[in-house]
Amino acid sequence: METEVELMTRAAQLSALDKRSMQLRGLVVRALVGGGRGHIGSSMSLIEILRVFYDDILRVRAGDPTWADRDRFILSKGHGCLAQYALLADKGFFSIEELDHFCRQSSFLGGHPEFGKVPGVEASTGALGHGLSIGLGMALAARMKKAAWQVYVVLGDGEINEGSVWEAAMSAGKHNLDNLTAVIDYNKIQSYGFTENVQPLEPLADKWRSFGFSATAINGHDVNALRQLLSSLPIQKGRPTAIICHTVKGKGVSFAENNPSWHHKSNLPPDQVAEIYDALERKT
Partner 1 sequence: MRKACLNSIFELAQMDERVVFIGSDLGPGTLDEFRHEIPDRFFMEGISEQNVIGMAAGMAMEGYIPFVNTIATFLSRRCYEQVAMDLCLHNLPVRLVGNGGGLVYAPLGPTHLAIEDIAIMRALPNMSVVSPCDAEEMRRFIPSTLEHPGPIYIRLAKGGDEIITSPVNNFQIGRAVVMREPRKVVIISTGIMTQRALKAAEILKAEDVECGVIHMHTVKPLDFDALAYAAQKAKIIVTVEEHLMTGGLGSAVTDYLASAHWERFPMIKKMGIPDVFPGEYGSQDSLLQSFDLTSESIAAAVRSSMVEN
Question: Are the CB atoms for 215 and 209 separated by under 8 Å?
Answer: yes
Query: How many DSSP H helices and E strands does the chain contain?
Result: 11, 7
Instruction: State the minimum distance, in angstroms, from the CB of residue 201 to partner 1.
Output: 19
Question: Which position among 65, 137, 173, 234 is part of the footprint of partner 1 (CB under 8 A)?
Answer: 137
Beta strands 180-186 and 151-156 are parallel
Q: Does 124 sit near partner 1 (CB under 8 A)?
A: yes
Instruction: State the minimum distance, in angstroms, from the CB of residue 64 to partner 1.
Output: 17
Question: Which position among 51, 130, 249, 251 is part of the footprint of partner 1 (CB under 8 A)?
Answer: 130
Q: Where are the beta strands (DSSP E) in the chain?
A: 37-38, 72-75, 151-156, 180-186, 214-219, 241-246, 265-266
101 torsion bin: left (phi>0), alpha (psi -120 to 50), beta (else): alpha
In the complex with partner 1, which residue's Cβ is closer, 142 or 256? 142
Show Cβ contacts of residue 221 under 8 Å, excluding neighbours closer than 6 positions.
12, 15, 17, 21, 48, 247, 248, 251
Residue 35 is which amino acid? G
Instruction: State the minimum distance, in angstroms, from the CB of residue 167 to partner 1.
Output: 4
Using DSSP's 3-state secondary structure scheme, residue 130 falls into coil
Q: Does 144 sit near partner 1 (CB under 8 A)?
A: yes
In the complex with partner 1, which residue's Cβ is closer, 115 or 192? 115
Q: Quickly count: other Cβ atoms within 10 Å of residue 32's Cβ.
A: 23
Residues 190-209 that bind partner 1 (CB under 8 A): none
Among the candidate windows 10-18, 41-49, 133-141, 245-253, which touches partner 1 by CB under 8 A?
A: 133-141
Instruction: State the minimum distance, in angstroms, from the CB of residue 163 to partner 1.
Output: 7
Q: Does 140 sit near partner 1 (CB under 8 A)?
A: yes
Residues 84-123 that bind partner 1 (CB under 8 A): 115-116, 122-123
Q: Does 171 sit near partner 1 (CB under 8 A)?
A: yes
Positions in the binding site for partner 1 (CB under 8 A): 115-116, 122-124, 127, 129-130, 132-142, 144-145, 163-164, 167-168, 170-171
